Amino acid sequence: MVDGTGQLAIVFNGEIYNFNDLRNDLATLGHAFRTQSDTEVILAAYRQWGLECINRFNGMFAFALFDGRAQRVFLARDRAGEKPLYYSNSGGELRFASELKALMADPAFPRAIDRMDWTATSRWGTSPVIAAYCRA
């Protein structure tokens, strides 16, 4: 989804449970909405609160948001890691996916295991950081 200004774009997987409350808060602050989707609420929340918007979301989600003004990509996932987010930032290229096999399909994707993250994930069922078990 791209916002009305064409400056923000998002790829989103999941659900923001409190998006109606956030939508109402954002509408009070002057944001207009074209849809009833939680995806559009994420874009408006980012425009309003920047990176801190992530602290307002309750749900299970992973997303990549491109900010054309700042020329940056914001990758995020829910606190519990219910929706996976794998990434690699190597060779000057950012790759991300919701499944590791999508990254593994790229021959340039690094195959070195990050043992500390793998151990944490094996023990707790999720990584304490956004990681893909592989080092760049």
Share of the chain above pLDDT 90, in %: 57
Alpha helices in the chain (DSSP H): 19-28, 38-49, 100-104, 115-124
Query: What whole-number distance in Å separates Cα of residue 7 and Cα of residue 21?
Result: 24
Q: What's the start-to-end Cα distance of the chain, in Å?
A: 29
The two most distant CA atoms of the chain are separated, in Å, by 48
Q: What are 82's two structure tokens?
A: 């219910």
What is the Cα–Cα distance from 40 to 133, expressed in whole angstroms?
31
Reading the chain (136 residues) residue by residue, the pLDDT tens digits are 999 899 999 999 999 999 999 999 999 999 999 999 999 999 999 999 999 999 999 999 999 999 999 999 999 999 888 898 888 887 788 889 988 888 889 888 877 766 666 566 666 565 555 444 444 4
